[in-house]
Structure 1
Amino acid sequence: MAGWALCLALVLAALAGAVGESRYEKFLRQHVDHPRTSALAAHRYCETMLARRRVTAPGRPCKPSNTFVHAPAEELLATCMQMPDAAGFHSTPRPMGLTACRLRGGDTRPPCAYRPRQLQHHVRVSCLDGLPVHLAGTHPPLQ
């Protein structure tokens, strides 16, 4: 009986944690690093940030890619006021500094190894109630 109560308590605690973070807060945790965390070795930035931000975790598959935007959250918030494209996504009016992390090799099991790329791209987001909730991709500025 005590085991059942403990199991139920753990499930309720996990649900409370999941409910406690809004989609916007999850977006910020997974994608915004402003100002860019600079105390990290450049080649370990992705692994460290993805673990620190709880995007990757032991026992879970490696995420194939993740992008960190190095601009204030307010700029991404303002993007939701831009006219959406045909697919319903909103793009930043000007390029932003970002780090694109791509999984290296074919192994999707931890330890996860990523290749970081520093870019200046426009960011595409989907918005809900005026807040960015999903990073849909990036694209380079028009030349």
Structure 2
Amino acid sequence: MLQLPSLEEKIKTDGGWDGAFDSFTKFVRQHVDEGGENGSNDYCAKMMEIRKMTKANCKPMNTFIHAKKEDVEAVCLNNKPISKNIYKSNVTFSVTICINNKRPPNSPCEYTANKVKGYIKIECDKKKPVRFVDLVPALVSVS
């Protein structure tokens, strides 16, 4: 019997795996990071490389949601769509937005990190997240 590697093993794989087993697995690989909440430029550079988003070209922008994948999946399970297949969380998430600094061709990817809290909008298919759509920043009360 063939046993497929776990998500953690797939992420650690240095070559041969492009993350395309299914849309949910790809979503988790690209957007969910339970442990990393420092939101630094180094964090972005490291995560973008580890998660295979710098191979051919530097991905222009990516968002990492700092939560358990089950908590992100709950957005699809516990909310009504706000439009066709698009769901908005009813709780805020800590998120790091990594934006590529335009660099000359063939130079290493370099990212600027922005750490924010907000409500996530995701596209769901069969009650599973498959695409990050948007982030609605949480309002900060001023006293």
Q: Greater CA radius of gyration, 1 or 2? A: 1
1:61-91 per-position Cα deviation (integer Å, ceiling 9, x unaligned) = 2111000000111111111121111354101
Q: How does 1:98-137 map to 2 (within 5 A)?
A: 98-105=95-102, 107=104, 110-137=107-134
Instruction: Say yes or no: does 1:79 pair with 2:75.
Output: yes
Counting matched residue pairs gives 124
Which stretch shows the higher mean deviation, 22-31 or 102-111? 102-111
The one-character-per-residue Cα deviations of 1:80-124 (angstroms, maximum 9, x if unpaired) are: 121111354101111101100011136575421111011101111
**What is the distance in 1 between the residues matched to 2:115 and 2:46?**
16
What TM-score do you get using the length of structure 2 for normalisation?
A: 0.76
CA RMSD of aligned residues (A): 2.4
Residue pair 2:88, 2:122 contacting (<8 A) in 1 also: yes
Letter of the structure 2 residue corresponding to residue 30 of structure 1: Q
Q: Confirm or deny: 8 A CA contact 2:87 2:124 kept in the other structure.
A: yes
Paired residue secondary structure (1:62): coil
Paired amino acid for 2:53: V
Instruction: Give the alignment partner of residue 48 of structure 1, picking from 46, 57, 65.
Output: 46
Q: Secondary structure at the match of 1:80?
A: helix
Q: Which one has a larger percent helix, Structure 1 or Structure 2?
A: 1
Aligned 8 A contact 1:31 1:69 in 2? yes
* 1:112–1:74 distance in 2 versus 1, CA, 3 Å: same
Question: How far does residue 21 in structure 1 lie from its aligned partner after superposition?
Answer: 1.6
- List gaps (5 residues or longer) in structure 1: 1-13
SS in 2 for 1:61: coil
| Residue pairs, 1:14-53, within 5 angstroms | 17=17, 21-36=21-36, 42-53=40-51
Give the conservation status (yes or no) of the 8 Å contact 2:94–2:116.
Answer: yes
Identity of aligned residues (%): 27
Instruction: Please give the TM-score of this superposition, normalised by the length of structure 1.
Output: 0.76
Q: Which runs of 5+ in 2 are unaligned?
A: 1-15
